[in-house]
Chain A
């Protein structure tokens, strides 16, 4: 069975600080995809990134970066120089290639304080 764990329920940081959101996943499949979604107060889940299990390269997109490490089954998300608009709930998710259900973690609520 697949599982995604986001151990941090809630994080608060002051604006301009860097913050890392942790994600640990479990699967026995060798082919899978990992995602991060952002859920602002409006409620709509916004896609941020997708990674396949064969691509361990870290990725940077503006202030966002992702660290994928298969050795520790982790897919962590870092926001550099955080801004108030980054305040949201962030979900890490997993889908295995032979399945059709995305498994979401419970989410991390991020508060960026001005």
Chain B
């Protein structure tokens, strides 16, 4: 597509539930990133995919968070046993190749609220 698409735009869930957030990157972009933005903060890195593989998942806060990109295009961020502290905006971005000089194009984000 023309831009990075994220669904849902808003998700409200209860503590302990499982959540999936989807990202559809720009067509042809091999690199895909997930960031998390808490209120009043800048985006924080979670994970980076190059193609189908996670090249760097060092930003995932714990093993409740997992992300996949099975066909090298769409990615899903999965959060198990959600906690109130997981409430944030989850941003997805893509770029033509790897990071460094490449400019990331961001989606509008998925706002997650855990009650």
| Residues in chain A within 8 A of chain B (CB atoms) | 4, 33, 35, 37, 42-47, 50, 52, 91, 93, 95, 97, 99-107
Contacts and interface: CB of A to CB of B under 8 A. Distances in A.
Contact of B56 (A95, A101, A107): A101
Interface stretch (B12-20, B21-29, B41-49, B72-80): B41-49
B40 A106 contact: yes
B42 A105 contact: yes
Nearest to A6: B42
B94 to A, nearest CB: 12
Given A52-B101, A102-B99, A106-B42, 9 more contacts: A33-B100, A42-B108, A43-B109, A47-B104, A95-B99, A100-B100, A102-B43, A104-B43, A106-B41
B43, B48, B89, B101 interface centre (most CB from chain A within 10 Å): B43
Contacts of B104: 47, 102
Contacts of B100: 33, 95, 97, 99-100
Interface string B30-50: 000000000011111100100
B91 A45 contact: yes
Contacts, number: 60
Given A100-B56, A101-B56, A33 B43 contact: no
Q: Which 7 A-B pairs have the closest CB atoms?
A: A104-B42, A45-B106, A101-B45, A100-B99, A44-B108, A100-B48, A43-B108
A101 B57 CA distance: 10
22 contacts: A35-B103, A37-B106, A42-B108, A43-B89, A44-B108, A44-B109, A45-B91, A47-B105, A50-B103, A91-B43, A97-B100, A100-B55, A100-B99, A100-B100, A101-B56, A102-B43, A102-B45, A102-B99, A104-B43, A106-B40, A106-B41, A107-B41
Interface of B: 40-45, 48, 55-56, 58-59, 89, 91, 93, 98-101, 103-109, 111
A52 B43 CA distance: 21
A102 B34 CA distance: 11
A97 B101 CA distance: 8
Contact of B42 (A47, A52, A91): A91
